[in-house]
Structure 1
Amino acid sequence: MRDEQMAGSGARPPARPLDDIDRDILRILQADGRASIRSVAESVHISRANAYARINRLIDDGVIRGFSARVDQERAGQGASAYITLKIVQNSWRSVREKLQELPGATHIALVSGDFDVLLLVHTEDNRALRELVLTRLQSMEEVLSTRTLLVFEETDLQESQGEL
């Protein structure tokens, strides 16, 4: 398929294969999205120009979708966290996803298989706000058939727990 046809159809070109250096660069940037080109290059034993080109290619290819800060939700005033499972009306995923993205505190949304259809991670100020979100906001969505709330007692960020590179 020609590039113009692919662009018009919304299809993306196939991803280029990643080599060990690309994977090392990804690991470094996942641990520290603010790592300098120089430090990345030194860590993977390539030139700064090569590191810069590889990172830009990973961005252009959509492998790297962005850079963000990892937030300690509790220290940021979000004392209650929960995974919420949802059963939804068949073929309503797109509209449900749009509504869930607008929820305050929603940080991860996944369409999944199994006993439920959607897995939602939320962080709220406290249990009262969590109850309001579930009972008022989620259960009032006409596409949502049922919910189950799993409170998070403790979290571990695996990228942080793997230590310094």
Structure 2
Amino acid sequence: MAPEQMAEPPEAGPAVPPARPLDAIDQDILQMLQADGRASIRSVAERVHVSRANAYARINRLIEDGVIRGFGARVNHERAGQGTSAYITLKIVQNSWRTVREQLRMLPGASHIALVGGDFDVLLLVHTPDNKALRELVLTRLQAIPEVLSTRTLLVFEEEDLEPEG
């Protein structure tokens, strides 16, 4: 899809103020929370050498500004019963990104969705229990989406999340 074909009006939603510039302390807080999202305010404050009130205010500002989108667990998909992972590339009908994105969000095991430029339009990361479930997802669910013109599945043999050092 050419860049001019991808242009769509901005989505309606809650207005998020522009993010304020991040200083070295904010960057240190982000790095610490990426390594351990369960870190206490006290431990964050001690590590970045600010008061607990200051650390609390900075974390809240990072959340309000949309810099921190949330907190969650990093899952070992294989140990969680989702041992088959694949990147799936999709070519889609021109100007159908929003429609396709909403359908992809509902797929079981969908982990990451990206609109990209190049030889295909969408890159989708999925985790499924096994190859049979992956096959079902691709052949039955994905290829049934009318706006999906073609797919290509890239099976992941081994993966590693790159995590900041804590």
- Normalised by the size of structure 1, how large is the TM-score? 0.90
Matches within 5 A, 1:80-119: 80-119=84-123
- Quick one: distance in 1 between partners of 2:154 and 2:66? 32
Residue 144 of structure 1, aligned match among 123, 143, 148 = 148
- Quick one: distance in 2 between partners of 1:112 and 1:33? 29
Moved over 2 A (4+): 8-13
2:78 pairs with 1:74: yes
Tell me how far 1:147 sits from its aligned partner. Answer: 0.5
Q: 1:70 to 1:130 in 2, by over 3 A?
A: same
2:53 pairs with 1:46: no
2:69 pairs with 1:65: yes
Percent of residue pairs bearing the same amino acid type = 80
Which secondary structure does the structure 2 equivalent of 1:53 belong to?
A: helix
- Quick one: distance in 1 between partners of 2:81 and 2:16? 39
- On the 8 A contact 2:87/2:154 being kept in 1, the answer is yes
| Structure 1 gaps, min length 5 | 1-7
Tell me how far 1:12 sits from its aligned partner. Answer: 3.0
Aligned-pair Cα RMSD in Å: 1.4
- Normalised by the size of structure 2, how large is the TM-score? 0.90
Tell me how far 1:13 sits from its aligned partner. Answer: 2.4
| Structure 2 gaps, min length 5 | 1-11
- Quick one: distance in 1 between partners of 2:35 and 2:13? 35
- On the 8 A contact 2:91/2:122 being kept in 1, the answer is yes
Which structure is higher in RCO with an 8 Å CA cutoff and minimum separation 6?
2
Between the two proteins, the alignment pairs up a number of residues equal to 155
